[in-house]
Amino acid sequence: MPAPLTLGQIVARLGGRVAGDPGTVVHQVASLEKADARHISFFTGARHREKLAATRAGALIVGADGEGETTRPRIVADNPYLYFARVSQLFNALVSQPGGVHPSAVVAKSVKLGARVSIGAGCVVGENVEIGDDSCLYPRVVIYGGCTLGKRVIAHSGVVIGADGFGIADDGGRWVKIPQIGGVRIGDDVEIGANTTIDRGALDDTVIEEGVKLDNQIQIGHNTRIGAHTAIAGCVGIAGSADIGRHCTFGGAAMILGHLRIVDHVNVSAGTFISRSILKPGTYTGIYPVDQHENWARAAAWLRRKGKQHE
Amino acid sequence: MPAPLTLGQIVARLGGRVAGDPGTVVHQVASLEKADARHISFFTGARHREKLAATRAGALIVGADGEGETTRPRIVADNPYLYFARVSQLFNALVSQPGGVHPSAVVAKSVKLGARVSIGAGCVVGENVEIGDDSCLYPRVVIYGGCTLGKRVIAHSGVVIGADGFGIADDGGRWVKIPQIGGVRIGDDVEIGANTTIDRGALDDTVIEEGVKLDNQIQIGHNTRIGAHTAIAGCVGIAGSADIGRHCTFGGAAMILGHLRIVDHVNVSAGTFISRSILKPGTYTGIYPVDQHENWARAAAWLRRKGKQHE
Amino acid sequence: MPAPLTLGQIVARLGGRVAGDPGTVVHQVASLEKADARHISFFTGARHREKLAATRAGALIVGADGEGETTRPRIVADNPYLYFARVSQLFNALVSQPGGVHPSAVVAKSVKLGARVSIGAGCVVGENVEIGDDSCLYPRVVIYGGCTLGKRVIAHSGVVIGADGFGIADDGGRWVKIPQIGGVRIGDDVEIGANTTIDRGALDDTVIEEGVKLDNQIQIGHNTRIGAHTAIAGCVGIAGSADIGRHCTFGGAAMILGHLRIVDHVNVSAGTFISRSILKPGTYTGIYPVDQHENWARAAAWLRRKGKQHE
């Protein structure tokens, strides 16, 4: 159980200012719907106004424009969602697993572990892997030999780091495997979602720079580089040798071809397929618009006919 | 080996009626192609007529319109495919794993297991998890702490339930993790396919209602609700806080954005991207029509030009 | 450490011819950028000319048209990329795991293992599985009972072979599970990427023929057949009962509906959705063209309007 805090204590640590009683005590964060008098919740937009009116939260985090929306004790912050994240971190640990190596984990003798590393049940860590301080592998993560993880890296269950990239050469209709002898280097503060896979490089390393956040079931091909502080939502696939910039975002199920470059500060919409380099920051989209089936069938037939017309 | 049954015994248990010798004995179900005299097979449509003519099955399950298509002993049923499913259940168990906890599984002491629960090799079940009667975890399932599974739940290998949702807040270009303190609640009779992931809620729970069927490699984001008896095919992604109705179907690789609502009885076609709420039952589609590459290139170029024209 | 080789020794084994000093000794393969005097690299196209000029590689593999591009010692080969693959195999093993069964693996007593099979930590191999000579399961592979793997099969971590296919029958709004009693048969020389899933057949077997190469996070539905020497990139989904030919290629995230047929020598582009049989060899594509978001929105709105027009 985390220690309770007053609103005054919270703003002393995190900034912002209190409106209402700074001695109000809160014990945990909660949603507007589920909060009771012991909880602090947050309000970020007019479309949640009904929930705000109905909430029983003991305190709230609001922006300047939300201050007048409630008379409950509240903290006014520049960015209430970010502030809420920081408050939640006061009450909750970032990882739910104790430190140390679970006895069922299989860790090669040559592995170098930093301080306070946590390795969950059933993890397998191969030869010459290095893992930085305060990193956490949840149960059943596999790290193949020769890969490097920075500090405060979190890898969720089912993650596989360093499996062979998809390197094959055509020999008259049969495929010849190209040994994958590069590694994977993962920077500090990277989080990797459940069942995500990051392949080792064919010759050089696959690189995930610091602060990258990867959701679940992402596939990252060999020799790809993901620039620092890029965030990638679930089910995204990035093919081999892609060079992805810093501070990019990828919506869910976006797919990126290999051997291309995306500069810094590019936002790729969910469901979008990127087939060539993007050299200018901005938001890029390519989604077939959904409709009722009959309407879709008409438009699709029309589009297909267009493809058969030689202009 | 299951005990053999006569057609008469089968209809006594499951309904329908026998045409031909009700004393015909069958030992197992089989496909039309592979069946021999010991097997019962099924015939559901005219396009399988050639296979029906060639089959050596000892007996068949047919609909009223199929009764005259064969002279072999047969059971006539309203819905032959459903009837076949029930016959197969007479001969075959729903799970292929014995009850009990495999010695290599790691199950926290605080876990509450119902009667006849089966937990396979290498599973990891976290603190305060509850699992209902007759549920089965195949090898290498991970359930994070605090999640609840109903009765008769089947989770296939590689499933991860309760990993952290993708909750991050932007702090001037760096991502701040939002602790994920909700859980996952899974109803009775839910089946979850191999390597599917269901994230825990950020604050409240992610909810999968009773009778939901999930195929392989599905990703379900935090705080999503999937309504009862909805069936979702492989490779589907559902982003966070989606509210999905009851009795829906999702074709393979459909992708659903977060924070939207889909009402009951909606069918989403395979490969379709849903970017806004669907408030009316029906079938919804959005797939780019495939064609020979040159035709596609022409139509796509045309469509792209259309986007650059200001009308 | 592999033994060093001279260029003369390499061509004696693999063919091709040496230009420059055949006594040049190389110890390992490397990329043009990372190579030093101990390495052999390769040059396959004019777009890498700058890297070629800057490389410090001790030797190179080039095509006939590349012979004059460098004065470094070099091997001239018909297909330099394929030749490079073979040279890399002289210096590097195809699998990075020693033979034998890791003590943490759970292998049923009835399993039949060929010679020199390698089974990594945490693998689970069910009843009556057969695995051919020289095959390798990396850590945490699960093979359900009754599946068969050929010789020299490589399965990467997180692979699940033989989980139940998605077989359900509608009983008035509730789903009835159809027991999945077929198996999976995998031919010789198949490689399977991390977290890929291959479901067991409903009645007959799912079949992956010899020489098929599967990348990561691929889903293969029940009763599908993949013809020999077909290569499938990451994140592809193939629904049940698809019949895929030999010598096909599938780009990343292609999606294939079930119950259809694709003949030999078909190339499906990345991101393409195949909804009907393809009976003619060739390259098939169906990708919504990406653009800046505003342009996309215009074209998509236009396309949607087209669907609502009754011609």
Inter-chain residue contact B252 with C275, CB threshold 8 Å: no
Active site residue ranges of B: 222
Q: What's the rounded Cα separation, in Å, for the pair C85 and C276? A: 36
The answer to whether the beta carbons of residues B205 and B184 sit under 8 Å apart is yes
Under CATH, which number does the domain B5-91 receive?
A: 3.40.1390.10
Q: What's the rounded Cα separation, in Å, for the pair C197 and C185? A: 13
Inter-chain residue contact A296 with B285, CB threshold 8 Å: yes
Q: What's the rounded Cα separation, in Å, for the pair A88 and A72? A: 19
Inter-chain residue contact B106 with A122, CB threshold 8 Å: yes
Inter-chain residue contact C84 with A175, CB threshold 8 Å: no
- CB proximity list for C188: less than 8 A, separation 6 or greater: C132, C150, C151, C152, C153, C210, C211
Inter-chain residue contact B285 with A293, CB threshold 8 Å: yes
Query: What does the block give as tokens for A255?
Result: 């797919």
**Which residue in B119, B114, B127 sits closest to B103, CA to CA?**
B119
Q: Is A287 on the interface with B (CB under 8 A)?
A: yes
3-state secondary structure of C51: helix
- Residues β-bridged to residue A185: A148, A207
Beta-strand relationship, B112-113 and B130-131: parallel
The answer to whether the beta carbons of residues A131 and A117 sit under 8 Å apart is yes
Inter-chain residue contact A94 with B177, CB threshold 8 Å: yes
Inter-chain residue contact C194 with A160, CB threshold 8 Å: yes
Tens digit of each residue's pLDDT (9 = 90 or more) over A29-80: 999 999 999 999 999 888 899 999 999 999 999 999 999 999 999 999 999 9
Domain boundaries, chain C: 5-91, 159-284
Q: Is B110 on the interface with A (CB under 8 A)?
A: no
For the entire predicted model, the pTM comes to: 0.98
**How many CB atoms sit inside 10 A of residue C129's CB?**
23
Tens digit of each residue's pLDDT (9 = 90 or more) over C148-191: 999 999 999 999 999 999 999 999 999 999 999 999 999 999 99
pLDDT at A135: 98
Neighbours of chain B (3+ CB pairs under 8 A): A, C
The answer to whether the beta carbons of residues B172 and B156 sit under 8 Å apart is no
Q: Is B134 on the interface with C (CB under 8 A)?
A: no
Burial class from Cβ neighbours inside 10 Å (0-12, 13-18, 19+) for residue B116 reads: middle
Angstrom distances, CA of residue A247 to CA of A221, A265, B168, C288: 20, 5, 14, 25
Shortest Cα–Cα distance, A158 to chain B (Å): 7
Angstrom distances, CA of residue A56 to CA of A48, A60, A64, A72, B70: 14, 10, 21, 9, 68
Q: Is A282 on the interface with C (CB under 8 A)?
A: yes
Measured between beta carbons, which residues in chain A are less than 8 angstroms from residue B193? none
Q: What's the rounded Cα separation, in Å, for the pair C210 and B207? A: 42
**Which residue in C94, C76, C74 sits closest to C85, CA to CA?**
C94
pLDDT tens by residue, chain B, 311 residues: 679 999 999 999 999 999 999 999 999 999 999 999 999 999 988 889 999 999 999 999 999 999 999 999 999 999 999 999 999 999 999 999 999 999 999 999 999 999 999 999 999 999 999 999 999 999 999 999 999 999 999 999 999 999 999 999 999 999 999 999 999 999 999 999 999 999 999 999 999 999 999 999 999 999 999 999 999 999 999 999 999 999 999 999 999 999 999 999 999 999 999 999 999 999 999 999 999 999 999 999 999 998 988 65
Q: What's the rounded Cα separation, in Å, for the pair A239 and A307? A: 28
Chain C: residue nearest A288 by CA?
C288
Chain C: residue nearest A297 by CA?
C307
A-C CB pairs within 8 A amount to: 206
Chain B: residue nearest A217 by CA?
B219
Shortest Cα–Cα distance, A26 to chain C (Å): 42
The answer to whether the beta carbons of residues A138 and A160 sit under 8 Å apart is no
Q: What is the band of C2 on the pLDDT scale with cuts at 50, 70, 90?
A: confident
Inter-chain residue contact A215 with B166, CB threshold 8 Å: yes
Shortest Cα–Cα distance, A154 to chain B (Å): 10
Q: What's the rounded Cα separation, in Å, for the pair B260 and A97? A: 32
pLDDT at C193 over 80: yes
Q: What's the rounded Cα separation, in Å, for the pair B169 and B172? A: 9
Q: What's the rounded Cα separation, in Å, for the pair B236 and C219? A: 11
ipTM beyond 0.95? Answer: yes
Inter-chain residue contact B289 with A309, CB threshold 8 Å: no
**Which residue in B56, B51, B57 sits closest to B26, CA to CA?**
B57
The answer to whether the beta carbons of residues B164 and B180 sit under 8 Å apart is yes
- The one-letter code for the residue type at A146 is G
Shortest Cα–Cα distance, B95 to chain A (Å): 23
Mutate to test the interface with A, among B107, B124, B287 (most CBs of A within 10 A): B124
Q: Is C106 on the interface with A (CB under 8 A)?
A: no
Catalytic residue among C222, C229, C247, C259: C222
Cα maximum dimension of chain A: 78
Chain C: residue nearest B33 by CA?
C204
Residue labelled with tokens 């399988």: B48
Catalytic (active site) residue A222: yes
What's the CATH fold of domain A159-284? UDP N-Acetylglucosamine Acyltransferase; domain 1 (2.160.10)
Chain A: residue nearest C215 by CA?
A166
Angstrom distances, CA of residue B37 to CA of B24, B26, B86: 10, 8, 20
Q: What's the rounded Cα separation, in Å, for the pair B242 and B228? A: 14
pLDDT at B2: 75
Helix axes C293-308, A293-308, angle to 10 degrees: 110
Q: What's the rounded Cα separation, in Å, for the pair B127 and A252? A: 30
The answer to whether the beta carbons of residues A251 and A233 sit under 8 Å apart is yes
Alpha helical stretches, state H, chain C: 7-14, 49-54, 80-91, 293-308
Tens digit of each residue's pLDDT (9 = 90 or more) over C226-268: 999 999 999 999 999 999 999 999 999 999 999 999 999 999 9
Distance of CA A260 to the CA centre of its chain: 22
